[in-house]
Amino acid sequence: MSEGAYTAGRAGEPHGHIKSFVRRAGRMSEAQERYYAEMMPRIGVPYAAAPLDLDATFGRRAGKILEIGFGMGETTAKIAETCPGNDYLGVEVHTPGVGALCKLIATRELANLRICQHDAVEVVRHMLAVDSLDGIHIFFPDPWHKKRHNKRRLIQPPFVALLASRLKPGGYLHCATDWEEYGAQMLEVLSAEPALQ
């Protein structure tokens, strides 16, 4: 079965989920490889199907922000640099992007940023406790342009409900897209989630 295909649910889960990403065989630059090897043992958060102690992960109590799908990491690094009072957990599946963000973390000496290289749905479902996040950022997720692929879009009612359950009271979910039709769907899905009112 190819990446991006439907995956069956694990024991105890009512449904599998349709992956919103396809692993691409992108190549890392030498610098990305070097920083990945150097930094991931220090700032990488291994996936585990168990709740993550976010305060212990960052070594302090601070606002906790989840960034899903950070791409090459430039925006994530800039936000973390601008807001050192918050801690950021970036989740990304693509190795070149993880390597690029590792480089930014090292060169900018960012102590408030960690990376989990895994499927965001599984990370949220299994690693993040209810009421554990102050905010969630999802910037420019894959719009899956073709109609037959719309089911792969990340912003769907079940996932938004899951995300909302992880937000503390007063927390926020910030989504952005440059694809107008996906933006309309996002607005519809987010507006329909009662926990986000």
Active site residues: 142
| 19 within 8 A of 7, measured Cβ to Cβ | yes
Helices 157-166, 120-127: inter-axial angle, 10-degree rounding: 40
CA distance 113 to 79: 10
Helices 180-192, 157-166: inter-axial angle, 10-degree rounding: 60
